[in-house]
Amino acid sequence: MIVSITYIIISISISIPVILYVILSRGIYFNHFIFSIMTCAYYFIDISYIISFDLSTELIFSEKIALYLWNLSIILMIFKLSMMSTIHSYILLKKRTRIFIGFLYSLLGGIIISLLYLEEVFEIKESEFYPSYIFQNISFFVIFIIFIILVSILTVYIEIKGNPNISDKKLAQFFKRLSILFCINNGLYAMYLIIQYILLRILFLSVYLIFSSYLLFMIIKKPDLFVVITNKIYDFIIFHRSGILLYSFDFEADKETEESVLKGSILIGISHILNNIIDKKDKLSVVKMKEKDIILEYDSEYGYALLMVAKHKNYSIEKSVQQFMLKFNEIFKESLMKIKDFRQLIDISEFKDTKLIINEIFAPYIIKN
């Protein structure tokens, strides 16, 4: 009983900080509302799972209550495995593939849960120290074990397929380790279901909590990891509507540059787009290239344009650009007003502190060598 209470306390100590951190930091790092909800839901399920699983394996309740808690732990584990693998695929894979994976988990999970309550699946066998749950339904046993194996195989597939697309190599290593722990944990859980030795239970819960602790550590240490997993910014340029370059920053080199990437036919195309969006505020235009997106925003009030070359446009990029422009306008309002109507010679040195705003808004995308 002491061991179970210890694991429950550790689980709560891990999950509650994550939930609070996601809620408090949602506007900064967890911009996607659905992703915030899924992260919080995962850790709520995590606490519920540990409580139901641990209490069902102790001799403190009647057989009916113990079996109810055991069945509940099975359902919660299905949700946990499905959510973790779905979030993993959502981050690393393209839309169609991740929708299929989510559908597959929903289908198999629904079948397993139906069998769990429509038929007698487990029989309780009590020993001197703890109860065991013996499979009585072969169909349920086979489908549930297949489900656990399938989740592990798909996790490995997603990792192999998507890991090379992660821009930050430290994050890539983090996902590799997380996937390894996830698969080891699944294997230990499957073994415990079949054998149900108490040492296997302790080993499974220990790896389980190591997995959760590692995820907590990374969320606290690098909360922006979900923002930049597979995205990357290459160049960042601000220029006056006259065509004069006000500021240019190279994200890959982490330094300011004196030359613009706007050359030749690209400049002609961008100028044409700017003419079309000059009176449209708060709308990003995108030029799709083979492997990159050119993202444009024009501020009609102060007469300047922002151009960003990124791997692809997404919600986080869009929100960051809008936050940058608000901050840029606030800090350089006087300088922008002076050059607004071409009445004064443009002194680009007045915008040298732009890097401070970039470091604040786009820090997750700056590659530190």
Residue found by looking up tokens 């004069």 in the block: 244
**What digits encode the pLDDT tens for the residues 152-186?**
999 898 888 877 767 667 777 888 888 899 999 99
Residue ranges of the chain assigned to CATH 1.20.1070.10: 2-226
- Per DSSP, what are the bridge partners of residue 286? 295
**Helices 63-92 and 33-56 sit at what angle, rounded to 10 degrees?**
150
Type of residue found at 48? S
**What digits encode the pLDDT tens for the residues 1-17?**
676 788 888 888 888 88
Whether residue 294 contacts residue 286, with contact meaning beta carbons closer than 8 Å, is answered with yes
DSSP label at residue 343: -
CA 224 from chain center: how many Å?
9
- Per DSSP, what are the bridge partners of residue 349? none
Residue found by looking up tokens 């590799």 in the block: 176
**What digits encode the pLDDT tens for the residues 19-56?**
887 777 665 555 556 667 777 888 888 889 989 998 88
Question: Which residues are CB-contacts of 304 (< 8 A; sequence separation ≥ 6)?
Answer: 238, 239, 240, 241, 246, 298, 336
**What digits encode the pLDDT tens for the residues 101-130?**
878 888 888 888 888 887 788 888 877 677
**What digits encode the pLDDT tens for the residues 303-340?**
888 888 887 777 678 878 888 999 999 998 888 887 77
Residue ranges of the chain assigned to CATH 3.30.450.60: 233-365
Looking from the CA of 362 toward its CB, the CA atoms found within 13 Å total 30
Say how far apart CA 177 and CA 315 lie, in whole Å: 27
**Torsion over CA: 78, 82, 85, 87 (sign):** negative
**Phi, psi torsion values for 250, nearest 5 degrees:** -100, 110
Q: What is the pLDDT of residue 369?
A: 46
Say how far apart CA 214 and CA 199 lie, in whole Å: 22
DSSP label at residue 231: -
DSSP label at residue 33: H
Say how far apart CA 112 and CA 114 lie, in whole Å: 5
* Fold that domain 2-226 belongs to in CATH: Rhopdopsin 7-helix transmembrane proteins (1.20.1070)
* Pair of tokens at residue 35: 């992703």
Q: What is the pLDDT of residue 189?
A: 92
* Fold that domain 233-365 belongs to in CATH: Beta-Lactamase (3.30.450)
Say how far apart CA 83 and CA 49 lie, in whole Å: 14
Whether residue 300 contacts residue 241, with contact meaning beta carbons closer than 8 Å, is answered with no
Q: Is the pLDDT of residue 98 over 60?
A: yes
Whether residue 82 contacts residue 105, with contact meaning beta carbons closer than 8 Å, is answered with yes
Q: Is the pLDDT of residue 281 over 60?
A: no
Whether residue 302 contacts residue 313, with contact meaning beta carbons closer than 8 Å, is answered with no
Report the pLDDT averaged over residues 219-226: 66
3-class SS of residue 292:
coil
Residues 329, 365, 307, CA angle at the centre, nearest 5°? Answer: 45
Residues 22, 224, 281, CA angle at the centre, nearest 5°? Answer: 95
Percent of the chain with pLDDT over 90: 12
Q: How confident is the prediction for the chain on average, in pLDDT?
A: 79
- Which runs of consecutive H residues, i.e. helices, occur in the chain? 2-24, 33-56, 63-92, 95-118, 138-162, 169-195, 198-221, 264-277, 315-331, 333-339, 354-361
DSSP letter string, 215-228: HHHHHHH-GGGGTS
Q: What is the pLDDT of residue 187?
A: 93
